[in-house]
Amino acid sequence: MLTFVTADTDAYREAIYPGGIPNIKYLADWFDRVRRASPKGAEAMDLQSFTASQPFDNDIYRSLETKPEQVDLPCFLAGSQIFIIHGRGAYEAYRTLASEHKHLQLVDRDYYPWPSHEAMGKITQFLDRHLRGVDYVNLEKVGVQMRLGFQKWYWRKETDFPLPGTQYAKFHFQTDGSLSSSNDTGTSKKFEYSTKVGSEGQKCGVSFHSAPFERDVEFAGHFAAKLNISSSVSEADVAISLWAVDEKGDVVPYGAKGQPEPLAKGFLRASHRKLDLEKSRPERPWHTHTEADYAPLKKDEVVSIDVEMFPAAGRICKGWRLRVDVAPAEVQPDIPGYKPLAMRQFYGEENDEAMNAVHVGLDLPGYILCPVVPLKQGYCNVMQ
């Protein structure tokens, strides 16, 4: 037997409440299609209402958990970039699978553009080896779809994940709105923003910008962010988006169809900020999400949060800059053409307007952590 994995090992963190944010819109759409496809769909329980009544990780979600460490079958895993659903499990499974025959693919933003001659070849080789016993096939251990922007990409062929030679670079938030390799030692500053999303062309949240890169750099792997935030109310959703900006000041389109798309992103509901220190790693925070650790904010209280950002891969070319957005939702109306899939229900979308703030400066370390990998030159594929 053999297995293909593109789904979840942890239903709470990977499908229903990633970052503590409810995937209500996704669940409503998915469950509606399930009910319409089944002649007994009308008899099914109301999944959307049930999951809404269970906002914390508990025994119900633990009963759905898979245990990769108990799986010793050949396994082909695919994890998406920035989709933040049905992807995280692939990376967690790869780390813990008992099987010696495990293969991981870090593919495009979701699975729809993935089918290609390259992907089909990888799957065919896997099937040849483990169903037909073809010994001559030298199976690729890890493959990474390195996004280059402007509908270009190439496959990196690797031996492990995280990629050999990965070094983590910190880009610190500065009081002047910049990003720097060193921590800001000046006086502190508060960057305030509304929890309501404005109309097209208006800024959502706040942005920090790096200096132009002096050379081409490739990122591949786990990203993470540390922030100091406050709110005028008891809750704050924090969405982090990492963009590349070219020499003209335009956002680099990493999308398969040439549309604007972040290099990486992640989010966290601030009241779920408690970390499981045994499971957390610097590049991949692990939050408990339990009711016992639920911690609403006090008005204008400054708290430190660690935001998990799903693995992603992309090249930053010489002369480009990084832009980090801190926002109350997954949108950014000041980037023309950017339309993220409507899957999640953010706090500010269903409550009265409030003010959130990012605090930067002395004794308030904040940064985004990026996985820098050795630069490779590969062949480009154009996705239509």
- Give DSSP secondary structure letters for 231-267: ESSS--EEEEEEEEE-TTSPBPB-STTS--B-SEEEE
pLDDT at 113: 58
The residue type at 25: K
For 131-143, what is each residue's pLDDT tens digit? 888 886 778 899 9
Whole-angstrom Cα distance, residue 82 to residue 93?
Answer: 18
C-alpha radius of gyration, the chain, whole number: 21
pLDDT at 247: 97
Q: For residue 324, what are the CA distances in angstroms to 63, 177, 302?
A: 37, 10, 20
Q: Strand 189-194 relative to strand 237-245: parallel, antiparallel, unpaired?
A: unpaired
pLDDT at 337: 93
pLDDT at 230: 97
pLDDT at 360: 95
pLDDT at 378: 67
Residues with Cβ < 8 Å from 307, sequence gap 6 or more? 19, 224, 225, 226, 227, 238, 240, 266, 267, 268, 285
pLDDT at 112: 59
pLDDT at 109: 74
pLDDT at 6: 46
Residue of 237, 245, 235 whose CA lies nearest to 208: 245
For 245-277, what is each residue's pLDDT tens digit? 999 999 999 988 889 999 999 999 999 999 999
Q: Are 241 and 262 spatial neighbours (Cβ–Cβ below 8 Å)?
A: yes
Helices (H), 112-261: 117-131
Question: Tokens standing for 18?
Answer: 């990633």
Phi/psi of residue 127, nearest 5 degrees: -65, -40
pLDDT at 263: 97
Run means of pLDDT, 10 residues per run, the chain, 384 residues: 60 93 88 80 76 94 85 88 87 90 86 66 87 82 93 90 97 95 83 91 94 97 97 97 97 91 97 97 97 97 96 97 97 93 91 95 91 84 46
Strand partners, 372: 167, 219
pLDDT at 111: 61
- Global pTM value: 0.93
